[in-house]
Structure 1
Amino acid sequence: MKVLVPIKRVVDYNVKVRVKSDGSGVDLGGVKMAMNPFDEIAVEAAIRLKEAGAATEVVVVSIGTAACQEVLRAGLALGADRAILVETNAELQSLHVAKLLKAVVDKEAPQLAILGKQAIDDDAGQTGQMLAALLGWGQATYAFKLAVAGDRIEVTREVDGGLETVSLPLPAVVTTDLRLNEPRYATLPNIMKAKKKPLETLPSTTLGVDLAPRLRTVKVSEPPVRKAGVVVPDVAALVDKLRNEAKVI
């Protein structure tokens, strides 16, 4: 079974992002970039399936500029077998990404696609569901646990009432939640081996996908500064503020 894992290059989660002075977007100048954390979980899930004998090949794919080779090499160092870069300078939205991934799936014919449930830059959480719809495949989102049994995959999801387990026929699309696993660290020997693993580059223009933007960013702004809390002397004062100032009771 071949597993395809899309990964995205985003601002490192430890970095405090800065908004451009004109409000047109986020300032990426000199900012450390890394693999989207939820995508790391997806890569780890695919590698564990391979180690368990359920998968035979793990292919990581990224969409963007040549700089995305950095995260693809990171995915190879974690244990993926091959990498594909769909190269484009266009500003991509979720539907663009899903359509480009569908073109890659049509080319590679994997039996399973595992994606992070969302990217930490836009928090859209849409690409996995859109990809499944375009492919006509079953989907299981926010996976807490997964296991392949024959030609089906069982996915346990966290829901409001507890845990829900669903069974899907392969091929299928799965999106990973935070608690699915803890990604491994790449060892130095594997980092060196990753430099020799195949990385294919596909110009997005060869995939026949219209990348014209459908959404326009009007303005990007920082969240308002949180006001300082107030210490109240007793319960009566607290109730008074909740009733008359916050108006929540």
Structure 2
Amino acid sequence: MHFVVCLKQVPDTSEVRIDPITNTLMREGVPSIINPYDAHGLEEAIRLKEKVGGKVTIVSMGPPQAKEALKKAMTFGADRAILLSDRAFGGSDSLATAYILSSAIQKIQETDPIDLVFAGKEAIDGDTAQTGPGIAQRLDFPQLTYAIKIQELTETTVTVERKTESGRQIVQAQLPALITVEKELNDLRYASLPNMMKAAAYEPEVWDVKSLSFDTKKMGLKGSPTSVSRIFAPPGRSGGEIMDGTKDPAATVATVVQKLFQQNIIMVNPLAKGGKS
């Protein structure tokens, strides 16, 4: 089977700062990492390859330095890595990104049929959760989102347990299909020495805008219907008020209730008997 993993290199958001003047992310000096959700998609693809046979191809869009993320991904057991890199791709939002990635996957599909495409639920530098479904829509693939377990994979179908707001759901789709994954799907492995040696000598393929029949009107800033108008850090929360209720619990409760009324957190129900809430 052929598994394709969409992978993104992102800044480590735990160390990202925001420029107060330009309202943009300050990436200088911030280390880049593999998007954590994508890493779990890669792990699952490799596990399936080890279980049923086949190969894993990684596809990523980014600047030339994103090669480092691809080389690192190769240390876990992938077989091929493709970087989509061109100035024309710069500024692409999730819609334009989905167009570029799906075009590359279509090219791969022409010569090497694909069974499953994996993508992280979202990228930690954007949190839109739109790119994976956008790729599936353009490829006309069934999409199984928020996967936390691959229950069964046959030659023609995949069965997935997915997380929902109200619980869990078991869904099945015909292959080829696209799956977006949660971190609960698996535990990440450590890179093996043989794979590390192989990755050190490996050079990812680089495809630019001339490599595919791209419509330049659908990429970059011109092809992006959305834009970020402002980025800001949320205001810090105060420590709150601490009350010692050990000496007079009843009085403390009465004080807390009074404060909740004053701040309209709880209100009097005029329809209640006696006017009580």
Same fold (TM over 0.5): yes
Which residue matches 1:96?
Answer: 96
Kindly indicate whether residue 90 of structure 2 is the aligned counterpart of residue 107 of structure 1.
no
Kindly indicate whether residue 257 of structure 2 is the aligned counterpart of residue 239 of structure 1.
yes
Structure 2 residue aligned with 1:79, among 77, 80, 104? 77
Q: What does 1:20-169 correspond to in 2, within 5 Å?
A: 20-53=19-52, 55-89=53-87, 90-109=90-109, 110-146=114-150, 147-169=152-174
Query: Which structure has more strand as a fraction of its residues?
Result: 1
1:84 maps to a residue whose letter is I
Query: Which structure has more helix as a fraction of its residues?
Result: 2
Q: Which runs of 4+ in 1 moved over 4 A?
A: none
Distance in 2 (alpha carbons) for counterparts of 1:145 and 1:66: 34
1:11 maps to a residue whose letter is P
Which residue matches 1:2?
Answer: 2
Distance in 1 (alpha carbons) for counterparts of 2:264 and 2:242: 15
- Seen in structure 2, the aligned counterparts of structure 1 residues 160 and 219 have a Cα distance that, compared at 3 Å, is closer
| Gap runs ≥5 in structure 2 | 246-251, 268-277
- Identity fraction in percent: 34
121-130 vs 183-192, greater mean Cα deviation: 183-192
- Seen in structure 2, the aligned counterparts of structure 1 residues 188 and 235 have a Cα distance that, compared at 3 Å, is farther
Distance in 2 (alpha carbons) for counterparts of 1:66 and 1:242: 55
Distance in 2 (alpha carbons) for counterparts of 1:38 and 1:11: 14
Distance in 1 (alpha carbons) for counterparts of 2:59 and 2:32: 17
Larger Rg: 2
Kindly indicate whether residue 230 of structure 2 is the aligned counterpart of residue 230 of structure 1.
no
Cα RMSD, aligned residues only: 1.6
1:22 maps to a residue whose letter is I
Q: Provide the secondary structure at the position in 2 that maps to 1:78.
A: coil
Which residue matches 2:16?
Answer: 17
Number of residue-to-residue matches in the alignment: 247
Distance in 2 (alpha carbons) for counterparts of 1:83 and 1:238: 59
Structure 2 residue aligned with 1:214, among 225, 240, 255? 225
Shift of 1:119: 0.2
Distance in 1 (alpha carbons) for counterparts of 2:35 and 2:208: 22
CA contact (8 A) 1:8 1:39 kept: yes
The TM-score normalised by the length of structure 2 is 0.84
Q: Provide the secondary structure at the position in 1 that maps to 2:195.
A: helix
1:164 maps to a residue whose letter is Q
150-159 vs 225-234, greater mean Cα deviation: 225-234
Which residue matches 2:274?
Answer: none
Distance in 2 (alpha carbons) for counterparts of 1:236 and 1:16: 44
Shift of 1:188: 3.6
- Seen in structure 2, the aligned counterparts of structure 1 residues 227 and 23 have a Cα distance that, compared at 3 Å, is farther
Q: Provide the secondary structure at the position in 1 that maps to 2:78.
A: coil
CA contact (8 A) 2:93 2:227 kept: no
The TM-score normalised by the length of structure 1 is 0.94
1:102 maps to a residue whose letter is S
- Seen in structure 2, the aligned counterparts of structure 1 residues 188 and 21 have a Cα distance that, compared at 3 Å, is farther
